[in-house]
Amino acid sequence: MLVALNLLTGRSREIRVALLAIRQHADGWAEAADQVASAIGELGRQWEAELCSVFQEHGASEGLRRATAICADEIAPGLGARCAALFTIAGERHTLGLSLAELVLAEAGWRTLWLGEGPPLEELDALIEKLKPLMLVVSASPASPRKLVLAYQHAMPNAHTFRVVKGATDLG
């Protein structure tokens, strides 16, 4: 896989070129993101098997984060584009899924507000009131405390909940 070969370099320009090559051969960023997610999973397995170090894994993740941000910034949303706010639940540091979601949203014509590591639960109402996003893209990992994930879901009773499943993303 092209991205897996370039991720460990940590060099965002090389990773960006690999991302664009994958996108060129895919039906869209959603399909390309599935392939990149597989590379991220492989990188995690290499780290778990002690085939790469923590600093290599962190460098690869940062290179990918920067490369996806560059690619997303190159897609200009049209006038009147719908707005989506992207963030993790409080305390969650893993944001690569959000980076991939940002690419998919940008290609679908959405304007994104990248908030990264999430706002405290008690600030969600203020976030929605001030920024007025039509979509909240909230990320949590399997390591996230289940009670906190449920609290975020409960705090957004009017939100439509959806899951991004490999190969099946609804952005309508």
What is the rounded radius of gyration, in angstroms, for the C-alpha atoms of the chain?
16
Domains of the chain in start order, with CATH, are 2-73 (no CATH), 83-155 (3.40.50.280)
Would you say the pTM of this structure is higher than 0.75?
Answer: yes
The C-alpha atoms of residue 152 and residue 172 are separated, in whole angstroms, by 22
d(CA 33, CA 52): 23
What is the helix (H) or strand (E) element at residue 111, kind and residue range? strand 111-116
Q: What is the pLDDT tens value at each position of the chain, 172 positions in all?
A: 545 557 888 889 999 999 999 999 999 999 999 999 988 888 888 889 999 899 998 999 999 999 999 999 999 898 899 999 999 999 888 899 999 999 999 999 999 999 988 888 888 888 888 989 999 899 888 888 989 888 888 887 665 554 443 333 334 3
